[in-house]
Amino acid sequence: MTYTYKIPRLLVGAPQGRSGKTTITVGLIAALTARGLKVQPFKKGPDFIDPSWLTKVAGRTCRNLDSYLMPREAIRSTFIRHASQSDIAIIEGAMGLFDGVDVQGSGSAAEIAKIVQAPVLLVVNCTRMTRSVAAMVNGFANFDPQVKVGGVILNQVARSRHEKVLRAAVAEYCDVPVLGVMPKGTQFTIPDRHLGLIPAGENEALMDAVKQIGQAAENHLDIDAILQVARDWPTLQEDREISAAVEIHWHRAGDRPAEQQGPRIGVIKDRSFSFYYPENLEALAEAGAQLVQISAIEDAALPALDGLYIGGGFPEVLAEELERNHSFRQHLRQMIEQGLPVYAECGGLMYLGRRIHWEDKSYEMVGALPLDVEMLKKPQGHGYMHLEVLPGTPYFPAGKLVRGHEFHNSRVVDLPKDLTKVGCQFAFRVQRGHGINGEFDGVRYKNVLALYNHIHAVAEPNWASHFVNLARAWQTNRLY
């Protein structure tokens, strides 16, 4: 039996990074939602920050699509599962449209466009460019016959004369319509910091920029024509029905534990720790966990828990507030010493160490792990990772190759040469990437696993069940 899914869709791509993809994507989503349309956003690649903006603007959780981490079938299933209930799906690309991890373009935005059969809306930064825009558009439109460029957005256009020359060049030499012209102006720029854009939830005042971008998109993009490109596309066909995603029911910290509902796994989800793939949280819920949202800044202590998940984020930016919450840090360390299962990624690793050193200041953290973390101006690890699981590591069988990604400006310092003397062990041997020291990633201590690598549950489907099983084992012996 064949199942068909009619999903209007498009991918926003560009010749290169810093062309304005995020600005155009945010503006387009804002303009469409203002018209009352349900927009399902997606982000190509493993990024956390861009999806936070797309989620905020669309009012629907943005999903990551990554052909390097995820199988082709999983990408199509993820796309259909979350896009089929929307009026239109918009995928924000990454880097240049055809840029991947090799000369064949593996892991590129174009590869995603082919997998979900989406037309491309090409965003071209036209700074200091006139007639050459036609050569660029033609090159991208004809480079891969399986990739359809449905229209072009001319970005950073200086003035009306500049626009006329650009439009005329594309009309004369290209079989691709111009579907919008975005004028040059810093008022259309979303602020950023050392790891990219500032997360959407961190500063509500930044939503003013989104409103300006949305209004600019409505004024300067041909929204009706863009919608038509997205709609004039064949249905997606699957030989199986794609099920809906599990719905997460967040429990409050003060709720009384419900034994029959499975182990309680806390998630530190606040301004300091916000990097979580929604599929990771859904996978934990589907495996039987009760998820409890916690704040390391505002909560005085941990609630009754059987496990704890600490994602990435910017603990260095909120380091003073994290340090100030001494009671929470002390209670977390006590629970770790008692054996509470804890899975911590990147920012979570930093938080569980002794101190964070940043901008000539040092801040006390949890102190459960025998290490300090130093913030630097340049990335210390950036890109996809391949990790070989070492014996004794929970969540994964020994010898397994785990894929993920890292993106951090921090490095671990003052780590003992012999971890076994302080009751710790490394969890992974690095085959690609940097991790903690270029050779290893992940520190194990009691039931804690803290690492720089970010995993995605779609790519590592057994991670969640292993985590829940550890929490369930702790649940039988917990002391609340």
The string of DSSP letters for 67-118 reads TTTS-HHHHHHHHHHHHTTSSEEEEE--SSTT--SSTT-TT-HHHHHHHTT-
- pLDDT, residue 246, reads 82
Average pLDDT over the chain reads 93
Domains and CATH numbers, the chain: 3-238 (3.40.50.300), 259-475 (3.40.50.880)
- pLDDT, residue 61, reads 96
SS3 at position 313: strand
185 and 222 Cβ atoms separated by less than 8 Å: no
Name the band, by pLDDT with cuts 50, 70 and 90, for residue 249: confident
**HEC letters along 401-463:** EEEEEEEECEEEECCCCCHHHHCEEEEEEEEECCCCCCCEEEEEECCEEEECCECCCCCCCCH
- pLDDT, residue 311, reads 98
- pLDDT, residue 282, reads 96
Q: What is the pLDDT of residues 308-344, one digit of tens each?
A: 999 999 999 999 999 999 999 999 999 999 999 999 9
DSSP symbol at 314? -
Model pTM? 0.92
Mean pLDDT for the stretch of residues 348-361: 97
Of all residues in the chain, what percent carry a pLDDT higher than 70?
94
429 and 387 Cβ atoms separated by less than 8 Å: yes
Of all residues in the chain, what percent carry a pLDDT higher than 90?
84
Name the band, by pLDDT with cuts 50, 70 and 90, for residue 212: confident
Q: What is the pLDDT of residues 256-305, one digit of tens each?
A: 666 567 899 999 999 999 999 999 999 999 999 999 999 999 999 999 99
310 and 351 Cβ atoms separated by less than 8 Å: yes
Q: Exactly one of 62, 174, 346, 424 is catalytic; which is it?
A: 346
Mean pLDDT for the stretch of residues 205-210: 71
- pLDDT, residue 194, reads 44
- pLDDT, residue 49, reads 87
- pLDDT, residue 193, reads 46
421 and 406 Cβ atoms separated by less than 8 Å: no
- pLDDT, residue 378, reads 93
340 and 307 Cβ atoms separated by less than 8 Å: yes
**Lowest-confidence range among 45-49, 143-147, 405-409, 424-428?**
45-49
Q: What is the pLDDT of residues 52-81, one digit of tens each?
A: 889 999 999 999 999 999 999 999 999 999
- pLDDT, residue 480, reads 46
Name the band, by pLDDT with cuts 50, 70 and 90, for residue 424: very high
Let me know if 346 is a catalytic residue: yes
Mean pLDDT for the stretch of residues 360-383: 96
- pLDDT, residue 479, reads 46
By the 10 Å C-beta count (0-12 exposed, 13-18 middle, 19+ buried), 480 is classed as exposed
- pLDDT, residue 413, reads 97
The strand order across the sheet containing 9-13 reads 63-65, 39-44, 88-92, 9-13, 120-125, 149-157, 178-183
Name 194's Cβ contacts closer than 8 Å, sequence gap at least 6: 377, 409
**Lowest-confidence range among 145-149, 229-233, 250-254, 435-439?**
250-254
Phi and psi torsions of 196, nearest 5° = 125, -150
Nearest partner of 89 among 66, 70, 63, 110, judged by Cα: 63
123 C-beta neighbours (distance < 10 Å), count = 26
